[in-house]
Structure 1
Amino acid sequence: MTGFKFPELEQLERLIGQFGARARTEVIERIRYKHLEFPIYSLTLGTTKPDVPVLAFFGGVHGLEKIGSEVILSYLQTILQLLDWDEELLHRLENSRLVFVPIVNPVGVYLGRRSNGNCVDLMRNSPIEGEGVGAKKIYSGQRMTRYLPWFRGDLDKMEKESLALCKVVGDQLFSSPLSIALDLHSGFGIKDRLWFPYASRQTPFTYIPQALALKELFDRCYQNHVYKIEPMSQEYVINGDLWDFLFDQFVSQFGEKKLFLPLTLEMGSWLWLRKNPMHLFYRHGLFHPMLPHRQQRVLRRHFVLFDFLHRSLLYPSAWAQLTPEQKTVNQHKAEALWYGQ
């Protein structure tokens, strides 16, 4: 990049150069803002075979929450070094695929604001409508005016950034028999949360038995992990969620012939603010660790989760390949745990 300062994009382009032929890089969209043009990059590592599991990482959907992009960039830097010597990782990549879109909303990250250049909140931009009283809140998404937060955009036309994310998911994850998407955000709560569908309604989603099995596997393997694992609608309901939109598309196309699990990592940034309330007066203070030692801690904090998700896709028998009896048991347990049924 030349002509303007954009540290996250500059770091991404340096990484692309360092990966060279070891990663397949594509500009999936170009976003114009005033006199500037921003690329949206995707990087893919691993085999090109169509029938392998896929793990995909997305960051910067909300530009103000740039820590998500930075965590992905940090993880890419680690993978770059591991590729030089880690034969176990090389073996994994012979049997799986990793996909990265670190900066989905480059204008938002560049400007330090939640929305894209058209003032649209991309995570409220799909046609999905929320259900219940919670969906009527203004923060659930509104189409009254672009001059208020949480603007959903045009009812009949999704934003370029949203369509670019959907294209990556459709091309790379829908074609796989087993896939997980992890979308990184910050700005809600004190505790890190790992959310799964639905965001638009308080209803168990199709793969809730498998989601519970994956949670229980993670709980057993990492008994002191930091995450609260739950459906997003446990905390609040929104309109236009891109992952609900994509998930419903997937189920309508494939039913239970394949499995696609969209997850959101919501980093609990209120903890950073509680330790130093004065950071609230900075643009990124509510969404980003301001002090260097806290930022370094966050940049390495989630690598165990990333590694676990990758391995869980390669060895799915413990959670994704359930018998009918196991599905029934897990369905009842999940409904009691998360939905009070």
Structure 2
Amino acid sequence: MTQPSIQNKLSELQKIEAIIQRDHKQFLSYQILCHVPHANDLLPVYALSMGNQNVDIPSITFIGGIHGLERIGTQVVLAFMETLLERLHWDLSFIDMLQRVRINFLPLINPVGMINHTRSNGNGIDLMRNAPVDSDEKTVWLAGGHRISAALPWYRGKENETMQKEAQVLNDFIRQHVLPSPFSVVLDCHSGFGYHNQIWFPYAKSRKEPIKHLGEVYFLRKLFMQTYPYQNYRFEPQSQHYLTHGDLWDHLYQQSLAYGNIFLPLTLEMGSWRWVRKNPLQLRKSTGLFHPTKPHRINRVLRGHLVLMEYLMQVTLSYKNWLDESQTQRMEKEALTLWYHD
């Protein structure tokens, strides 16, 4: 069991367990996907779910804390979950929505990394470089994933080893609870890259190979830009920035193709360099490059992504109303012209 001494170090884990203790059993279920060791303790990795659990229901999944340094990702997921739980007290339209969509939350995949203030897990392995996927194209040295040593960041682990427990249970949860859905979206919340908020989609392993559902994700992007023209996200393939080995979402997307459904995994990269530019002194802290330290900036981030998360929830619910084959074929051509033609 999680000990109080550890919980006091990790307020995010405390918040997850406090949410579970509230009286939302009619709407909110949870499971412990695994426990991971830290010192003399075992820390839980939680998955929480709201809405219709039938396999033929569209689903959306919000994920945070894959990298322990990026606490703000976990906090953004928890803030949105708490908003939805509060709406259960008064919002009849949201309660009705839950009959027609499933909403999953995996707020803290890497609790040991968060306690240790490390990107990697307790074994020194970067969970986003740990999947059995290799890039055939040249990746960024070290940052693209390597097998040299766990003493260096972005370590993939030894070749032919099984995935780390945290990565494996995430993989298993998505396979069991998400990929069977006819339409599903994932938003994996990270921080630490650039000055701009960015939304990325696979592949991370190739600049040349687009995903099969390029038209669908481009259409989702276009609807977002048209519906919210004043937002400031950059929405594009991850490969536009850098290539990596071992990307979990590349791995899961490739698995999804066997199901014959539409699975659109998105990564939110919050532009943390802006926080550093405004407050360079925060670099004195181990999390300073990846997490805002001023309370007003934390609050701004927590409310700043609510529109995106609400949009993704609504567009998942309504996918039959906007998605059709003729449109996606046209969107695919536009996307190929924008991103994959020199």
TM-score normalised to structure 2 length: 0.95
Confirm or deny that 1:142 pairs with 2:143: no
Equivalents in 1 of 2:23, 2:277: separation in Å? 38
Of 109, 112, 115, the residue aligned with 1:107 is: 112
CA distance in 1 between counterparts of 2:292 and 2:182 reads: 37
Measure the CA separation in 1 of the matches of 2:19 and 2:329.
45
Once the two structures are superposed, the pairs formed by residues 155-304 of structure 1 within 5 Å of their partners are: 155=159, 156-202=161-207, 203-251=209-257, 253-254=258-259, 257-304=260-307
1:339 Cα deviation from its structure 2 partner: 1.8
Tell me, in whole angstroms, the C-alpha distance in 2 between the residues paired with 1:218 and 1:189: 21
Residue in structure 2 matched with residue 10 of structure 1 by the alignment: 14
Which amino acid letter does the alignment assign opposite residue 214 of structure 1? Answer: L
Partner of 2:323: 320
Partner Cα distance (1:79, 1:336) in 2 = 38
Q: What displacement does 1:136 show? A: 5.0
1:316 CA displacement: 1.4
| Code of the aligned partner of 1:18 | R
Counterparts of 1:22-171 in structure 2, within 5 Å, are: 22-133=27-138, 135=139, 137-155=141-159, 156-171=161-176
Taking structure 1 as the reference length, the TM-score comes to 0.95
**Deviation of 1:245 (Å):** 0.3
User: Contact 2:87–2:94 (CA<8 Å) still a contact in 1?
Assistant: yes
> How many angstroms does 1:230 deviate by?
0.2
Counterpart code for 1:305: L
Structure 1 SS opposite 2:50:
strand
Q: CA deviation at 1:320?
A: 3.0
SS of 1:3's equivalent in the other structure is helix
Shift in Å, 1:143: 0.4
| Residue 340 of structure 1: aligned partner | 341
Tell me the secondary structure at the aligned position of residue 266 of structure 1.
strand
Give the fraction of aligned pairs with identical amino acids, expressed as a percent: 39
Letter in 2 for 1:132: E
* Cα pair distance change 1:37/1:314, threshold 3 Å: same
Report the AA paired with residue 273 of structure 2: W
Q: Which residue of 1 aligns with 2:331?
A: 330
Once structures 1 and 2 are overlaid, which stretch shifts more, 150-159 or 83-92?
A: 150-159
Give the letter for the 1:40 counterpart. Answer: V
Q: Is the 8 A contact 1:250 1:260 kept in 2?
A: yes
CA RMSD, Structure 1 to Structure 2 (Å):
1.2
Deviation at 1:41, TM superposition (A): 0.5
**CA–CA distance in structure 2, aligned partners of residues 259 and 175 of structure 1:** 9
Deviations 1:199-230 (A, max 9, x none): 11112110001111111101110001121000
SS at match of 2:256: helix
Deviation at 1:54, TM superposition (A): 0.3
1:192: how far off?
Answer: 0.3
Helix, strand or coil for the counterpart of 1:138? coil
Unaligned runs of 5+ in 1: none
Task: Report the CA distance between 1:131 and its aligned residue.
Answer: 2.8
Query: Offset at 1:322?
Result: 2.5
Tell me, in whole angstroms, the C-alpha distance in 2 between the residues paired with 1:113 and 1:121: 9
Equivalenced residues, count: 335
Q: Distance in 2 between matches of 1:215 and 1:339?
A: 16
CA distance in 2, matches of 1:86, 1:64: 35
Give how far 1:331 is off.
1.9
